[in-house]
Structure 1
Amino acid sequence: MKINYLVIEGNIGSGKTTLVNKIADDFGARTLLEGFDDNPFLPKFYADPEKFAFPLEMSFMADRYNQLKRNIREFELFSSFLVTDYYFMKSLIFAQTTLSADEYMLYERFFNIIYEKLPKPDLYVYLHADVDKLMQNITKRGRSYEQNISAGYLAEITQGYFRFFKRQNDFPILVVDTNQIDFVKNQNDYQKLLGIIFENDYPRGINRVLID
Protein backbone atom coordinates (compact mmCIF):
# COMPACT_ATOMS: atom_id res chain seq x y z
CA MET A 1 0.00 0.00 0.00
CA LYS A 2 1.42 3.38 -1.04
CA ILE A 3 1.12 5.76 1.90
CA ASN A 4 2.05 9.42 1.76
CA TYR A 5 -0.14 10.66 4.61
CA LEU A 6 -0.43 8.34 7.62
CA VAL A 7 -2.42 9.15 10.74
CA ILE A 8 -1.73 7.29 14.01
CA GLU A 9 -4.41 7.92 16.63
CA GLY A 10 -5.65 6.43 19.86
CA ASN A 11 -7.04 7.36 23.22
CA ILE A 12 -4.99 9.21 25.84
CA GLY A 13 -2.09 6.95 26.84
CA SER A 14 -2.25 4.64 23.81
CA GLY A 15 1.32 5.36 22.66
CA LYS A 16 0.43 7.08 19.39
CA THR A 17 3.12 9.76 19.57
CA THR A 18 5.79 7.20 20.44
CA LEU A 19 4.80 5.10 17.43
CA VAL A 20 4.83 8.14 15.13
CA ASN A 21 8.37 9.00 16.20
CA LYS A 22 9.58 5.41 15.76
CA ILE A 23 8.11 5.22 12.24
CA ALA A 24 9.56 8.61 11.33
CA ASP A 25 13.02 7.54 12.50
CA ASP A 26 12.87 4.25 10.57
CA PHE A 27 11.38 5.60 7.34
CA GLY A 28 12.75 9.13 7.23
CA ALA A 29 9.24 10.57 7.37
CA ARG A 30 8.16 14.09 8.22
CA THR A 31 6.22 14.28 11.48
CA LEU A 32 3.36 16.46 12.58
CA LEU A 33 2.74 16.18 16.31
CA GLU A 34 -0.08 17.73 18.28
CA GLY A 35 1.21 20.57 20.46
CA PHE A 36 -1.06 20.18 23.47
CA ASP A 37 1.43 20.79 26.30
CA ASP A 38 1.26 24.57 25.92
CA ASN A 39 -2.54 24.78 25.92
CA PRO A 40 -3.40 26.91 28.97
CA PHE A 41 -6.91 25.45 29.21
CA LEU A 42 -5.86 21.79 29.53
CA PRO A 43 -4.91 21.68 33.24
CA LYS A 44 -7.89 23.95 34.00
CA PHE A 45 -10.20 21.54 32.15
CA TYR A 46 -8.97 18.51 34.11
CA ALA A 47 -9.57 20.45 37.33
CA ASP A 48 -13.02 21.81 36.32
CA PRO A 49 -14.34 20.12 33.14
CA GLU A 50 -17.76 21.77 33.08
CA LYS A 51 -16.36 25.31 33.21
CA PHE A 52 -13.47 24.93 30.79
CA ALA A 53 -14.68 22.35 28.25
CA PHE A 54 -15.84 24.82 25.59
CA PRO A 55 -12.77 27.12 25.57
CA LEU A 56 -10.53 24.03 25.63
CA GLU A 57 -12.20 22.40 22.62
CA MET A 58 -12.34 25.66 20.65
CA SER A 59 -8.65 26.34 21.30
CA PHE A 60 -7.72 22.78 20.31
CA MET A 61 -9.71 23.04 17.08
CA ALA A 62 -8.08 26.36 16.18
CA ASP A 63 -4.61 25.04 17.01
CA ARG A 64 -5.12 21.84 15.00
CA TYR A 65 -6.41 23.71 11.98
CA ASN A 66 -3.60 26.27 12.03
CA GLN A 67 -0.99 23.55 12.44
CA LEU A 68 -2.39 21.45 9.61
CA LYS A 69 -2.76 24.47 7.34
CA ARG A 70 0.85 25.49 7.93
CA ASN A 71 2.33 22.02 7.53
CA ILE A 72 0.21 20.11 5.03
CA ARG A 73 -0.09 21.08 1.40
CA GLU A 74 -1.76 18.57 -0.87
CA PHE A 75 0.94 18.71 -3.53
CA GLU A 76 3.57 17.84 -0.91
CA LEU A 77 1.70 14.69 0.10
CA PHE A 78 2.45 13.18 -3.31
CA SER A 79 6.20 13.61 -2.98
CA SER A 80 6.96 12.87 0.67
CA PHE A 81 5.86 10.70 3.59
CA LEU A 82 4.07 12.45 6.43
CA VAL A 83 3.05 10.73 9.66
CA THR A 84 1.03 12.50 12.35
CA ASP A 85 -0.31 11.63 15.80
CA TYR A 86 -3.73 13.21 15.30
CA TYR A 87 -6.42 13.83 12.73
CA PHE A 88 -8.66 16.89 12.65
CA MET A 89 -11.76 14.77 13.33
CA LYS A 90 -10.33 14.29 16.83
CA SER A 91 -11.74 17.72 17.65
CA LEU A 92 -15.29 16.53 17.08
CA ILE A 93 -14.78 13.21 18.89
CA PHE A 94 -13.59 14.88 22.09
CA ALA A 95 -16.16 17.67 21.87
CA GLN A 96 -19.00 15.13 21.76
CA THR A 97 -17.82 13.86 25.12
CA THR A 98 -16.95 17.10 26.88
CA LEU A 99 -19.52 19.67 25.69
CA SER A 100 -23.15 20.21 26.57
CA ALA A 101 -25.71 19.74 23.78
CA ASP A 102 -26.07 23.44 22.91
CA GLU A 103 -22.30 24.02 23.07
CA TYR A 104 -21.72 21.04 20.81
CA MET A 105 -24.20 22.32 18.19
CA LEU A 106 -22.34 25.62 18.01
CA TYR A 107 -18.98 23.87 17.96
CA GLU A 108 -20.03 21.55 15.14
CA ARG A 109 -20.99 24.50 12.95
CA PHE A 110 -17.45 25.86 13.13
CA PHE A 111 -15.97 22.40 12.68
CA ASN A 112 -17.89 21.65 9.46
CA ILE A 113 -16.74 24.89 7.84
CA ILE A 114 -13.12 23.84 8.29
CA TYR A 115 -13.18 20.06 7.84
CA GLU A 116 -14.01 19.85 4.13
CA LYS A 117 -11.00 22.00 3.24
CA LEU A 118 -8.45 19.59 4.72
CA PRO A 119 -6.77 16.67 2.90
CA LYS A 120 -7.74 13.12 3.88
CA PRO A 121 -5.17 10.53 5.01
CA ASP A 122 -4.18 7.53 2.90
CA LEU A 123 -4.51 5.37 6.03
CA TYR A 124 -5.81 6.11 9.52
CA VAL A 125 -4.52 3.75 12.23
CA TYR A 126 -6.26 3.60 15.60
CA LEU A 127 -4.34 1.99 18.48
CA HIS A 128 -7.00 0.42 20.67
CA ALA A 129 -6.24 -0.36 24.30
CA ASP A 130 -8.54 -1.19 27.21
CA VAL A 131 -9.12 1.50 29.81
CA ASP A 132 -7.05 -0.32 32.45
CA LYS A 133 -4.01 -0.31 30.17
CA LEU A 134 -4.53 3.35 29.29
CA MET A 135 -4.71 4.24 32.98
CA GLN A 136 -1.47 2.36 33.65
CA ASN A 137 0.29 4.17 30.80
CA ILE A 138 -0.96 7.56 31.98
CA THR A 139 0.26 6.88 35.51
CA LYS A 140 3.61 5.64 34.22
CA ARG A 141 4.40 8.72 32.13
CA GLY A 142 3.57 10.97 35.08
CA ARG A 143 2.13 14.15 33.57
CA SER A 144 0.71 15.96 36.57
CA TYR A 145 -2.34 17.39 34.80
CA GLU A 146 -3.36 13.93 33.56
CA GLN A 147 -3.44 12.19 36.92
CA ASN A 148 -7.08 13.12 37.59
CA ILE A 149 -8.34 11.62 34.32
CA SER A 150 -11.05 9.10 35.17
CA ALA A 151 -11.62 5.67 33.70
CA GLY A 152 -15.13 6.80 32.79
CA TYR A 153 -13.80 9.71 30.73
CA LEU A 154 -11.42 7.41 28.83
CA ALA A 155 -14.27 4.98 28.14
CA GLU A 156 -16.40 7.81 26.73
CA ILE A 157 -13.57 8.91 24.44
CA THR A 158 -13.16 5.34 23.15
CA GLN A 159 -16.89 5.15 22.43
CA GLY A 160 -16.65 8.47 20.60
CA TYR A 161 -13.92 7.15 18.31
CA PHE A 162 -15.93 4.07 17.41
CA ARG A 163 -19.03 6.15 16.68
CA PHE A 164 -16.89 8.15 14.28
CA PHE A 165 -15.52 5.01 12.61
CA LYS A 166 -19.03 3.70 11.90
CA ARG A 167 -19.93 6.89 10.02
CA GLN A 168 -16.66 7.36 8.15
CA ASN A 169 -16.10 6.06 4.62
CA ASP A 170 -13.76 8.69 3.15
CA PHE A 171 -10.56 6.73 3.82
CA PRO A 172 -9.35 3.36 5.21
CA ILE A 173 -9.42 3.00 8.99
CA LEU A 174 -7.29 0.30 10.61
CA VAL A 175 -8.16 -0.54 14.23
CA VAL A 176 -5.32 -2.46 15.90
CA ASP A 177 -5.86 -4.14 19.27
CA THR A 178 -2.68 -3.37 21.24
CA ASN A 179 -3.67 -4.89 24.59
CA GLN A 180 -1.39 -7.91 24.23
CA ILE A 181 1.62 -6.24 22.60
CA ASP A 182 4.30 -3.74 23.55
CA PHE A 183 5.50 -2.04 20.37
CA VAL A 184 7.69 0.33 22.42
CA LYS A 185 9.92 -2.21 24.19
CA ASN A 186 9.37 -5.34 22.09
CA GLN A 187 10.98 -5.07 18.64
CA ASN A 188 9.16 -8.17 17.38
CA ASP A 189 5.79 -6.62 18.25
CA TYR A 190 6.84 -3.38 16.56
CA GLN A 191 7.82 -5.20 13.36
CA LYS A 192 4.50 -7.06 13.32
CA LEU A 193 2.70 -3.75 13.63
CA LEU A 194 4.71 -2.26 10.76
CA GLY A 195 3.82 -5.25 8.59
CA ILE A 196 0.13 -4.79 9.29
CA ILE A 197 0.28 -1.08 8.46
CA PHE A 198 2.48 -1.11 5.35
CA GLU A 199 2.09 -4.53 3.74
CA ASN A 200 -1.67 -4.65 3.20
CA ASP A 201 -4.26 -2.82 1.12
CA TYR A 202 -7.30 -1.78 3.11
CA PRO A 203 -10.69 -0.72 1.73
CA ARG A 204 -12.36 2.47 2.87
CA GLY A 205 -14.17 2.22 6.16
CA ILE A 206 -13.25 0.27 9.26
CA ASN A 207 -10.83 -2.69 9.25
CA ARG A 208 -10.00 -4.51 12.50
CA VAL A 209 -6.80 -6.43 13.27
CA LEU A 210 -5.71 -8.44 16.30
CA ILE A 211 -1.96 -9.06 16.63
CA ASP A 212 -1.18 -12.54 17.98
Structure 2
Amino acid sequence: MEQQNKIVLSIGSNQGDRKSFIQQAIDIINQEVATVIAVSKLYESPSWGFESEPFYNCAVLVHTSKSASKILTKVLKVEKQLGRVRSDEKGYSSRTIDVDLISFNNEIIATTNLNIPHPQMQNRLFVLLPMQDLITYFVHPVLKQTVSELIQNCKDTGSCKAVGVLKNPFHTTQILNYKFIAIEGNIGAGKTTLAHKIAEDFNAKKILERFADNPFLPKFYKDQARYAFPLEMSFLADRYQQISDDLAQLDLFKDFIIADYHIFKSLIFAQVTVTEDEFRLYRKLFEIIYKEIPKPDLYIYLYQNTERLLQNIKKRGRSYEQEIPSEYLEKINKGYFDFIKTHPDLNILVLDVSDRDFVKNQSDYIFILEEINKALLKN
Protein backbone atom coordinates (compact mmCIF):
# COMPACT_ATOMS: atom_id res chain seq x y z
CA MET A 1 0.00 0.00 0.00
CA GLU A 2 1.56 3.27 -1.12
CA GLN A 3 1.71 6.22 1.22
CA GLN A 4 -0.51 9.17 0.48
CA ASN A 5 0.90 12.22 -1.22
CA LYS A 6 1.56 15.22 1.01
CA ILE A 7 0.75 18.48 -0.74
CA VAL A 8 1.03 22.10 0.38
CA LEU A 9 -1.48 24.51 -1.11
CA SER A 10 -1.28 28.30 -0.85
CA ILE A 11 -4.67 30.04 -0.71
CA GLY A 12 -5.19 33.79 -1.14
CA SER A 13 -7.92 36.38 -1.64
CA ASN A 14 -8.11 40.16 -2.01
CA GLN A 15 -11.72 40.71 -3.04
CA GLY A 16 -14.89 40.80 -0.98
CA ASP A 17 -14.92 38.97 2.36
CA ARG A 18 -11.39 37.66 2.03
CA LYS A 19 -11.39 35.46 5.14
CA SER A 20 -14.74 33.94 4.23
CA PHE A 21 -13.58 33.07 0.72
CA ILE A 22 -10.45 31.39 2.08
CA GLN A 23 -12.41 29.44 4.70
CA GLN A 24 -14.89 28.30 2.06
CA ALA A 25 -12.01 27.13 -0.12
CA ILE A 26 -10.53 25.11 2.75
CA ASP A 27 -13.87 23.48 3.50
CA ILE A 28 -14.54 22.59 -0.14
CA ILE A 29 -11.03 21.20 -0.59
CA ASN A 30 -11.47 18.98 2.45
CA GLN A 31 -14.89 17.79 1.32
CA GLU A 32 -14.21 17.27 -2.38
CA VAL A 33 -10.47 17.28 -3.16
CA ALA A 34 -8.14 16.01 -0.42
CA THR A 35 -8.03 15.66 3.35
CA VAL A 36 -6.94 18.91 5.00
CA ILE A 37 -4.48 17.89 7.71
CA ALA A 38 -3.15 21.28 8.85
CA VAL A 39 -4.07 24.94 8.34
CA SER A 40 -1.74 27.88 8.92
CA LYS A 41 -2.62 31.17 10.56
CA LEU A 42 -4.20 33.83 8.34
CA TYR A 43 -1.71 36.42 7.04
CA GLU A 44 -2.13 39.83 5.41
CA SER A 45 0.35 41.18 2.89
CA PRO A 46 0.46 43.77 0.09
CA SER A 47 -0.43 42.65 -3.41
CA TRP A 48 2.53 41.09 -5.19
CA GLY A 49 3.34 42.21 -8.74
CA PHE A 50 0.49 44.73 -9.14
CA GLU A 51 -1.38 47.51 -7.27
CA SER A 52 -4.54 46.46 -5.43
CA GLU A 53 -6.09 45.84 -2.03
CA PRO A 54 -3.90 43.74 0.31
CA PHE A 55 -4.24 39.98 0.28
CA TYR A 56 -5.19 37.51 2.94
CA ASN A 57 -3.18 34.28 2.59
CA CYS A 58 -2.81 30.92 4.27
CA ALA A 59 -1.27 27.53 3.57
CA VAL A 60 -2.78 24.09 4.04
CA LEU A 61 -1.29 20.63 4.12
CA VAL A 62 -3.42 17.95 2.46
CA HIS A 63 -3.16 14.18 2.08
CA THR A 64 -4.36 12.35 -1.03
CA SER A 65 -3.61 9.40 -3.28
CA LYS A 66 -4.35 11.56 -6.33
CA SER A 67 -1.66 12.83 -8.68
CA ALA A 68 -0.52 16.45 -8.80
CA SER A 69 -2.24 17.01 -12.15
CA LYS A 70 -5.57 15.72 -10.79
CA ILE A 71 -5.28 17.96 -7.74
CA LEU A 72 -4.58 20.94 -10.02
CA THR A 73 -7.71 20.20 -12.03
CA LYS A 74 -9.79 19.95 -8.87
CA VAL A 75 -8.52 23.12 -7.21
CA LEU A 76 -9.19 25.06 -10.42
CA LYS A 77 -12.79 23.88 -10.11
CA VAL A 78 -12.83 25.13 -6.51
CA GLU A 79 -11.65 28.54 -7.69
CA LYS A 80 -14.39 28.64 -10.31
CA GLN A 81 -16.97 27.58 -7.75
CA LEU A 82 -15.96 30.56 -5.59
CA GLY A 83 -16.22 33.07 -8.42
CA ARG A 84 -12.68 33.15 -9.77
CA VAL A 85 -12.62 34.08 -13.45
CA ARG A 86 -9.29 33.42 -15.15
CA SER A 87 -8.36 35.41 -18.25
CA ASP A 88 -5.70 34.89 -20.90
CA GLU A 89 -4.13 38.25 -20.14
CA LYS A 90 -0.61 38.12 -18.74
CA GLY A 91 0.18 39.52 -15.30
CA TYR A 92 -1.51 39.52 -11.92
CA SER A 93 -4.97 40.76 -11.01
CA SER A 94 -7.36 40.87 -8.08
CA ARG A 95 -9.33 37.68 -7.36
CA THR A 96 -11.85 36.28 -4.95
CA ILE A 97 -9.74 33.18 -4.49
CA ASP A 98 -6.39 31.86 -5.65
CA VAL A 99 -5.18 28.31 -4.94
CA ASP A 100 -1.63 27.34 -5.89
CA LEU A 101 0.16 24.01 -5.58
CA ILE A 102 3.41 24.79 -3.75
CA SER A 103 4.89 21.37 -3.09
CA PHE A 104 4.09 17.73 -3.83
CA ASN A 105 5.96 15.51 -1.39
CA ASN A 106 9.57 16.52 -2.12
CA GLU A 107 9.22 15.93 -5.84
CA ILE A 108 10.16 18.01 -8.86
CA ILE A 109 7.43 18.21 -11.51
CA ALA A 110 7.74 20.20 -14.73
CA THR A 111 4.91 20.07 -17.26
CA THR A 112 3.14 22.55 -19.52
CA ASN A 113 0.55 23.35 -16.85
CA LEU A 114 2.38 22.61 -13.63
CA ASN A 115 5.75 23.39 -12.04
CA ILE A 116 6.52 22.00 -8.58
CA PRO A 117 7.97 23.24 -6.32
CA HIS A 118 6.26 26.50 -7.19
CA PRO A 119 8.96 28.49 -9.02
CA GLN A 120 8.31 31.66 -6.99
CA MET A 121 7.82 30.17 -3.53
CA GLN A 122 11.30 31.14 -2.28
CA ASN A 123 10.62 34.77 -3.21
CA ARG A 124 7.31 35.17 -1.39
CA LEU A 125 6.96 35.60 2.36
CA PHE A 126 3.20 35.23 2.06
CA VAL A 127 3.86 31.65 0.94
CA LEU A 128 6.79 30.81 3.22
CA LEU A 129 5.51 32.17 6.55
CA PRO A 130 2.19 30.29 6.38
CA MET A 131 4.03 27.18 5.18
CA GLN A 132 6.29 27.36 8.22
CA ASP A 133 3.20 27.08 10.45
CA LEU A 134 2.40 23.68 8.96
CA ILE A 135 5.59 22.01 10.29
CA THR A 136 5.93 19.82 7.19
CA TYR A 137 9.71 19.18 7.39
CA PHE A 138 9.78 20.17 3.72
CA VAL A 139 13.17 20.52 2.04
CA HIS A 140 13.20 22.31 -1.30
CA PRO A 141 14.32 19.59 -3.77
CA VAL A 142 16.20 22.08 -5.96
CA LEU A 143 17.57 24.63 -3.49
CA LYS A 144 18.11 22.02 -0.74
CA GLN A 145 16.82 24.41 1.91
CA THR A 146 14.24 24.02 4.66
CA VAL A 147 11.35 26.48 4.92
CA SER A 148 13.16 28.32 7.73
CA GLU A 149 16.25 28.67 5.55
CA LEU A 150 14.16 29.86 2.61
CA ILE A 151 12.66 32.55 4.85
CA GLN A 152 16.11 33.68 6.01
CA ASN A 153 17.27 33.98 2.40
CA CYS A 154 14.07 35.49 1.00
CA LYS A 155 14.45 38.90 -0.69
CA ASP A 156 10.79 39.84 -0.20
CA THR A 157 10.78 43.12 1.75
CA GLY A 158 7.01 43.53 1.93
CA SER A 159 5.16 43.23 5.21
CA CYS A 160 3.49 39.93 5.99
CA LYS A 161 1.82 39.59 9.37
CA ALA A 162 -0.53 37.13 11.03
CA VAL A 163 -4.00 38.64 11.46
CA GLY A 164 -6.18 35.73 12.53
CA VAL A 165 -6.91 32.02 12.60
CA LEU A 166 -8.93 29.75 10.34
CA LYS A 167 -11.02 26.69 11.12
CA ASN A 168 -9.47 23.35 10.27
CA PRO A 169 -12.31 20.99 9.25
CA PHE A 170 -10.04 18.09 10.20
CA HIS A 171 -10.25 19.08 13.87
CA THR A 172 -14.01 18.55 13.95
CA THR A 173 -13.38 14.80 13.65
CA GLN A 174 -13.24 13.23 17.10
CA ILE A 175 -11.56 10.01 16.00
CA LEU A 176 -8.55 10.77 18.20
CA ASN A 177 -10.71 10.06 21.25
CA TYR A 178 -10.54 6.35 20.43
CA LYS A 179 -7.61 4.24 21.66
CA PHE A 180 -8.20 1.13 19.55
CA ILE A 181 -10.23 0.84 16.33
CA ALA A 182 -10.70 -2.41 14.42
CA ILE A 183 -11.92 -2.35 10.81
CA GLU A 184 -13.50 -5.54 9.52
CA GLY A 185 -15.11 -6.64 6.29
CA ASN A 186 -15.38 -9.38 3.74
CA ILE A 187 -12.62 -10.27 1.28
CA GLY A 188 -12.10 -7.22 -0.95
CA ALA A 189 -14.16 -4.81 1.18
CA GLY A 190 -11.33 -2.27 1.47
CA LYS A 191 -10.54 -2.60 5.18
CA THR A 192 -6.74 -2.49 4.76
CA THR A 193 -6.93 0.51 2.42
CA LEU A 194 -9.11 2.40 4.91
CA ALA A 195 -6.86 1.47 7.83
CA HIS A 196 -3.82 2.81 5.93
CA LYS A 197 -5.60 6.04 5.06
CA ILE A 198 -6.89 6.75 8.57
CA ALA A 199 -3.54 5.83 10.12
CA GLU A 200 -1.66 8.32 7.92
CA ASP A 201 -4.19 11.10 8.40
CA PHE A 202 -4.56 10.70 12.17
CA ASN A 203 -1.08 9.52 13.19
CA ALA A 204 -2.16 6.05 14.30
CA LYS A 205 -0.18 2.86 14.80
CA LYS A 206 -1.28 0.22 12.27
CA ILE A 207 -1.86 -3.47 12.95
CA LEU A 208 -2.23 -5.14 9.55
CA GLU A 209 -3.10 -8.77 9.04
CA ARG A 210 -0.22 -10.86 7.74
CA PHE A 211 -2.32 -13.02 5.41
CA ALA A 212 0.25 -12.93 2.61
CA ASP A 213 2.72 -14.88 4.75
CA ASN A 214 0.34 -17.77 5.42
CA PRO A 215 1.59 -20.84 3.49
CA PHE A 216 -1.79 -22.57 3.69
CA LEU A 217 -3.78 -19.83 1.95
CA PRO A 218 -3.01 -20.64 -1.72
CA LYS A 219 -3.43 -24.36 -0.93
CA PHE A 220 -6.80 -23.69 0.71
CA TYR A 221 -8.23 -22.03 -2.40
CA LYS A 222 -7.22 -25.11 -4.41
CA ASP A 223 -8.40 -27.75 -1.91
CA GLN A 224 -10.67 -26.29 0.77
CA ALA A 225 -11.62 -29.59 2.44
CA ARG A 226 -8.02 -30.59 3.06
CA TYR A 227 -6.51 -27.29 4.13
CA ALA A 228 -9.36 -25.43 5.89
CA PHE A 229 -8.54 -26.51 9.43
CA PRO A 230 -4.76 -25.95 9.35
CA LEU A 231 -5.39 -22.61 7.60
CA GLU A 232 -7.81 -21.39 10.27
CA MET A 233 -5.62 -22.64 13.12
CA SER A 234 -2.55 -20.88 11.71
CA PHE A 235 -4.53 -17.67 11.24
CA LEU A 236 -5.85 -17.85 14.80
CA ALA A 237 -2.37 -18.35 16.27
CA ASP A 238 -0.86 -15.57 14.17
CA ARG A 239 -3.66 -13.09 14.89
CA TYR A 240 -3.46 -13.74 18.61
CA GLN A 241 0.29 -13.27 18.67
CA GLN A 242 0.24 -10.15 16.50
CA ILE A 243 -2.55 -8.35 18.36
CA SER A 244 -1.12 -9.29 21.79
CA ASP A 245 2.35 -8.06 20.86
CA ASP A 246 1.28 -4.85 19.11
CA LEU A 247 -1.23 -3.78 21.75
CA ALA A 248 1.34 -4.41 24.47
CA GLN A 249 3.96 -2.26 22.75
CA LEU A 250 2.89 1.35 23.23
CA ASP A 251 4.12 3.87 20.69
CA LEU A 252 4.63 7.27 22.32
CA PHE A 253 4.69 8.95 18.91
CA LYS A 254 1.28 7.61 17.78
CA ASP A 255 -2.11 8.80 18.98
CA PHE A 256 -4.05 5.53 18.84
CA ILE A 257 -4.10 2.06 17.27
CA ILE A 258 -6.01 0.97 14.18
CA ALA A 259 -6.20 -2.61 12.90
CA ASP A 260 -7.56 -3.98 9.62
CA TYR A 261 -9.02 -6.99 11.43
CA HIS A 262 -10.13 -8.30 14.80
CA ILE A 263 -9.55 -11.79 16.05
CA PHE A 264 -13.27 -12.65 15.99
CA LYS A 265 -13.01 -12.99 12.22
CA SER A 266 -11.21 -16.28 12.90
CA LEU A 267 -14.42 -17.81 14.23
CA ILE A 268 -16.52 -16.36 11.41
CA PHE A 269 -14.33 -17.79 8.67
CA ALA A 270 -13.83 -21.12 10.46
CA GLN A 271 -17.58 -21.59 10.75
CA VAL A 272 -17.82 -21.35 6.96
CA THR A 273 -14.73 -23.35 6.00
CA VAL A 274 -14.21 -26.27 8.42
CA THR A 275 -16.37 -29.34 9.15
CA GLU A 276 -18.77 -29.46 12.12
CA ASP A 277 -16.47 -31.69 14.20
CA GLU A 278 -13.48 -29.50 13.49
CA PHE A 279 -15.45 -26.36 14.30
CA ARG A 280 -16.43 -27.64 17.75
CA LEU A 281 -12.78 -28.15 18.59
CA TYR A 282 -11.82 -24.86 16.98
CA ARG A 283 -14.44 -22.94 18.96
CA LYS A 284 -13.15 -24.28 22.29
CA LEU A 285 -9.66 -23.11 21.47
CA PHE A 286 -10.93 -19.78 20.17
CA GLU A 287 -12.94 -18.99 23.32
CA ILE A 288 -9.87 -19.52 25.48
CA ILE A 289 -7.88 -17.07 23.37
CA TYR A 290 -10.69 -14.53 22.87
CA LYS A 291 -10.94 -13.86 26.61
CA GLU A 292 -7.36 -12.63 26.63
CA ILE A 293 -7.65 -10.17 23.74
CA PRO A 294 -8.54 -6.49 24.42
CA LYS A 295 -11.77 -5.41 22.73
CA PRO A 296 -11.68 -2.41 20.37
CA ASP A 297 -13.28 0.89 21.37
CA LEU A 298 -14.91 0.90 17.93
CA TYR A 299 -15.54 -2.06 15.64
CA ILE A 300 -16.21 -0.93 12.06
CA TYR A 301 -17.75 -3.37 9.61
CA LEU A 302 -17.35 -2.35 5.97
CA TYR A 303 -20.17 -3.97 4.03
CA GLN A 304 -20.05 -4.35 0.27
CA ASN A 305 -22.48 -6.40 -1.77
CA THR A 306 -21.24 -9.58 -3.41
CA GLU A 307 -21.06 -8.11 -6.91
CA ARG A 308 -18.85 -5.26 -5.75
CA LEU A 309 -16.64 -7.63 -3.74
CA LEU A 310 -16.03 -9.80 -6.80
CA GLN A 311 -15.11 -6.70 -8.82
CA ASN A 312 -12.63 -5.60 -6.17
CA ILE A 313 -11.09 -9.07 -5.91
CA LYS A 314 -10.64 -9.22 -9.67
CA LYS A 315 -9.14 -5.72 -9.74
CA ARG A 316 -6.47 -6.39 -7.13
CA GLY A 317 -5.36 -9.45 -9.06
CA ARG A 318 -4.28 -11.99 -6.45
CA SER A 319 -4.19 -15.22 -8.44
CA TYR A 320 -5.30 -17.49 -5.61
CA GLU A 321 -8.43 -15.37 -5.00
CA GLN A 322 -9.77 -15.29 -8.55
CA GLU A 323 -11.86 -18.45 -8.22
CA ILE A 324 -13.63 -17.49 -5.00
CA PRO A 325 -17.35 -18.29 -5.52
CA SER A 326 -20.02 -15.72 -4.70
CA GLU A 327 -21.66 -18.23 -2.32
CA TYR A 328 -18.54 -18.24 -0.16
CA LEU A 329 -18.56 -14.45 0.12
CA GLU A 330 -22.25 -14.43 1.00
CA LYS A 331 -21.66 -16.96 3.80
CA ILE A 332 -18.89 -14.77 5.19
CA ASN A 333 -21.15 -11.70 5.13
CA LYS A 334 -23.86 -13.67 6.94
CA GLY A 335 -21.32 -14.79 9.54
CA TYR A 336 -20.35 -11.20 10.25
CA PHE A 337 -23.95 -10.06 10.62
CA ASP A 338 -24.70 -12.96 12.96
CA PHE A 339 -21.72 -11.87 15.04
CA ILE A 340 -22.94 -8.26 15.07
CA LYS A 341 -26.43 -9.29 16.20
CA THR A 342 -25.14 -11.42 19.05
CA HIS A 343 -22.63 -8.90 20.44
CA PRO A 344 -24.62 -5.85 21.57
CA ASP A 345 -21.89 -5.16 24.14
CA LEU A 346 -19.45 -4.09 21.41
CA ASN A 347 -19.46 -0.58 19.94
CA ILE A 348 -20.14 -1.63 16.32
CA LEU A 349 -20.51 0.67 13.33
CA VAL A 350 -21.82 -0.93 10.12
CA LEU A 351 -21.00 1.07 6.98
CA ASP A 352 -22.49 0.12 3.62
CA VAL A 353 -19.85 1.23 1.11
CA SER A 354 -21.17 -0.77 -1.85
CA ASP A 355 -21.77 2.45 -3.79
CA ARG A 356 -18.83 4.40 -2.41
CA ASP A 357 -15.16 4.71 -3.34
CA PHE A 358 -13.28 6.33 -0.46
CA VAL A 359 -10.00 6.30 -2.39
CA LYS A 360 -11.12 8.10 -5.55
CA ASN A 361 -13.93 10.19 -4.04
CA GLN A 362 -12.93 12.46 -1.17
CA SER A 363 -16.58 13.00 -0.20
CA ASP A 364 -16.97 9.26 0.42
CA TYR A 365 -13.99 9.28 2.75
CA ILE A 366 -15.38 12.29 4.62
CA PHE A 367 -18.70 10.41 4.91
CA ILE A 368 -16.89 7.58 6.72
CA LEU A 369 -15.14 9.99 9.10
CA GLU A 370 -18.46 11.68 9.86
CA GLU A 371 -20.08 8.32 10.64
CA ILE A 372 -17.20 7.47 12.98
CA ASN A 373 -17.79 10.83 14.64
CA LYS A 374 -21.48 10.03 15.14
CA ALA A 375 -20.64 6.65 16.65
CA LEU A 376 -18.42 8.36 19.21
CA LEU A 377 -21.05 10.94 20.10
CA LYS A 378 -23.60 8.17 20.79
CA ASN A 379 -21.40 6.60 23.46
User: Normalising to structure 1: TM-score of the pair?
Assistant: 0.91
State the SS of the aligned residue for 1:9.
strand
Counterpart check, 1:94 vs 2:269:
yes
Aligned: 1:16 with 2:16: no
Shift of 1:105: 0.2
CA RMSD of aligned residues (A): 1.8
Shift of residue 80 of structure 1? 3.5
Runs of 4 or more, structure 1, over 2 Å off, are 73-77, 198-204
Question: Does the 8 A contact of 2:302 with 2:351 survive in 1?
Answer: yes
1:183 to 342, 352, 358: 358
Per-residue Cα deviation, 1:131-150 (whole angstroms, up to 9, x for no partner): 00000000000001111111
3-state SS of 1:197 partner: helix
1:63 aligned residue (238, 247, 270): 238
User: AA paired with 1:47?
Assistant: K
TM-score (norm 2): 0.52
| Unmatched tracts of structure 1, length 5 or more | 205-212
One-letter amino acid of the counterpart of residue 259, structure 2: T
Amino acid at match of 1:28: N
Q: Does 1:141 align with 2:316?
A: yes
Deviation at 1:199, TM superposition (A): 4.2
Cα displacement (A) at 1:75: 7.5
Output the amino acid matched with 1:113: I
Q: What does 1:131-210 correspond to in 2, within 5 Å? A: 131-201=306-376
Q: Deviations over 1:7-55 (max 9, x none)?
A: 1110000000000000011001000000000100000000000110000
Preserved contact between residue 186 and residue 332 of structure 2 (Cα < 8 Å):
yes
Cα deviation code 1:39-86 (max 9, x no counterpart):
000000000001100000000000000101111129779x83000000
Does the Cα contact within 8 Å between 2:195 and 2:258 map onto a contact in 1?
yes
Number of residues paired by the alignment? 203
Residue 115 of structure 1 aligns with which residue?
A: 290
How much identity, in percent, do the aligned residues show?
53
SS in 1 for 2:244: helix
Q: Which has the higher contact order (CA 8 A, sep 6+)?
A: 1
Q: Is the 8 A contact 2:188 2:310 kept in 1?
A: yes
Give a deviation string over 1:93-119, Cα, whole Å, max 9, x none.
Answer: 000000111000000111011101111
**1:135-180 alpha-carbon deviations (Å, 9 max, x no partner):** 0000000001111111010000000001111111232111011011
Structure whose residues are more often helix by fraction: 1
Q: Secondary structure at the match of 2:301?
A: strand
